[in-house]
Amino acid sequence: MSEVNKLKHVAIIMDGNGRWANGRSHARIWGHVRGSSVVSNIVEEADDLGVKALTLYAFSTENWSRPLAEVTTLFKLLKKFLLKERKRIIKNQIRFKVMGDTSRLPQDTKDLINGLESETSNFKGLKLTFAFGYGGRQEIVDAVNAFTEKNPGEKLTEDVLTKSLYNPELGDVDLLIRTGGDQRISNFLLWQMAYAELYFTETKWPDFTRKEFRQILNKVNTRERRFGQICESISLLETSSMAEKNKKILESAMGK
Ligand code: IPE
Ligand code: IPE
Ligand code: MG
């Protein structure tokens, strides 16, 4: 990318698989199969663009209530990804993690996750995290419980809660992308998204390309992020030439 990428932590809600398949008169499961093949391209592109952390929403706590056949397919696709991408993940020094409740996954898939997590734990490349069996509210509740158990009677602060999250080293989300056309965050990274830039695209996940991903990053990199402050050029103008005017405005506003 020609411009410098300032977006360190990018999170993606990979949505629209079912509608993609239904629109082609296929079963929803086909959409998940096609969608899962997009993941490695986007991981590679994120790495090329200098993103430091990429967090992908693969299965939410709410998704447990989907039909068993669909849930089982998603388990199988996770296993297939782990088997297929292991070598490439290691070659590219990607640090891989899964966050969420994986207890209901088959034992062989849990073993593959644990294996890859420990093999890559010291890698310094892209931090790739799959949110699987993940819920943002659950993560906050778990963080509060972990803290109160260790520090009975003590009060929580924002800083301490942040450090008690599943993967505090990922930091706040800079950019959330949701594919599939819906404009909501569906219980994803609620705490970490307090100041995220949001980008919603109509493209359904199986059609999402490296090119669109790159274009989104380019566009969002030009947005001004103010974090509650005012923009730098205005603040300079205010202090240099407006002081007297401001005083008068304030006086009249206060009824003086
Ligand atoms: C996203 O696609 C994948 C998961 C939630 C696991 P969906 O399955 O939600 O697809 P749509 O939104 O119904 O099209
Ligand atoms: C969010 O998509 C979860 C994932 C992409 C894994 P959903 O399709 O489950 O979200 P809702 O139900 O439309 O909010
Ligand atoms: Mg959906």
| Per-position DSSP letters for 144-170, written without gaps between them | HHHHHHHSTTPPP-HHHHHHTSS-GGG
Residues 65, 104: contact at Cβ < 8 Å? no
Structural domain contains residue 1:
no
Q: Which ligand is nearest to the CA of 17?
A: 1
The reply to whether 150 and 40 lie within a common domain is yes
Which of 13, 15, 34 should be mutated for ligand 1, with most atoms under 8 A from CB? 15
The reply to whether 103 and 191 lie within a common domain is yes
Which of 74, 185, 186, 187 should be mutated for ligand 2, with most atoms under 8 A from CB? 186
Q: Which residues line ligand 2 (CB under 6 A)?
A: 13-15, 57-60, 62-63, 182, 184, 186
Residues 173, 152: contact at Cβ < 8 Å? no
The reply to whether 155 and 201 lie within a common domain is yes
Q: Determine the pLDDT at residue 127.
A: 98
User: Rounded to whole angstroms, how far apart are CA atoms 139 and 248?
Assistant: 50
CATH number at residue 83: 3.40.1180.10
Is 16 touching ligand 1 by the criterion CB < 6 Å?
A: yes
Read off the amino acid at residue 175: L
Torsion-angle region of residue 108: left (phi > 0), alpha (psi -120 to 50) or beta?
alpha
Structural domain contains residue 2:
no
The reply to whether 183 and 248 lie within a common domain is no
What's the structural domain count of the chain?
Answer: 2
Q: What is the pTM of this model?
A: 0.94
The reply to whether 83 and 191 lie within a common domain is yes
The reply to whether 49 and 130 lie within a common domain is yes
Active site residue 221: no
CA distances from 233 to 120, 227, 228, 230, 244 (A): 44, 15, 15, 9, 19
The reply to whether 190 and 255 lie within a common domain is no
- Which tens digit of pLDDT belongs to each residue from 160-180? 999 999 999 999 999 999 999
Q: Determine the pLDDT at residue 2.
A: 46
| CA atoms within 13 A of residue 108's CA, in its CB half-sphere | 8
Could you identify the residue written with the tokens 């989300």? 173
Count Cβ atoms below 10 Å from residue 136 Cβ, excluding itself: 21
Q: How far is the CA of 93 from the centre of ligand 1 (A)?
A: 30
The pair phi, psi for residue 117, each rounded to 5°, is: -60, -45
Structural domain contains residue 135:
yes
Q: What ligand 2 atom has the least distance to the C-alpha of 63? A: 9
Is 136 touching ligand 1 by the criterion CB < 6 Å?
A: no
Please give the helix or strand (H or E) that residue 56 lies within, else none.
strand 53-60
The reply to whether 162 and 248 lie within a common domain is no
Q: Determine the pLDDT at residue 233.
A: 73
Structural domain contains residue 192:
yes
Which of 22, 28, 38, 62 should be mutated for ligand 2, with most atoms under 8 A from CB? 62
* Cα first-last separation, the chain: 55
Is 186 touching ligand 1 by the criterion CB < 6 Å?
A: no
Q: Which residue is catalytic, options 63, 167, 187, 218?
A: 63
Q: Determine the pLDDT at residue 3.
A: 67
Low-confidence residues of the chain: pLDDT under 70: 1-3, 239-241
The reply to whether 141 and 189 lie within a common domain is yes
Q: Determine the pLDDT at residue 172.
A: 98
Active site residue 15: yes
User: Rounded to whole angstroms, how far apart are CA atoms 189 and 172?
Assistant: 9
Q: How far is the CA of 60 from the centre of ligand 3 (A)?
A: 10
User: Rounded to whole angstroms, how far apart are CA atoms 238 and 235?
Assistant: 5
The reply to whether 235 and 169 lie within a common domain is no
Q: What ligand 1 atom has the least distance to the C-alpha of 14? A: 1
Structural domain contains residue 3:
no
The reply to whether 183 and 158 lie within a common domain is yes
DSSP at 173: -
Mean pLDDT of the chain: 95
The reply to whether 204 and 249 lie within a common domain is no
Could you identify the residue written with the tokens 């008169």? 25
Is 63 touching ligand 1 by the criterion CB < 6 Å?
A: yes
Q: Determine the pLDDT at residue 124.
A: 98
Q: Which ligand is nearest to the CA of 55?
A: 2
- Which tens digit of pLDDT belongs to each residue from 16-55? 999 999 999 999 999 999 999 999 999 999 999 999 999 9
Containing structural domain, residue 254: 228-256
Structural domain contains residue 233:
yes
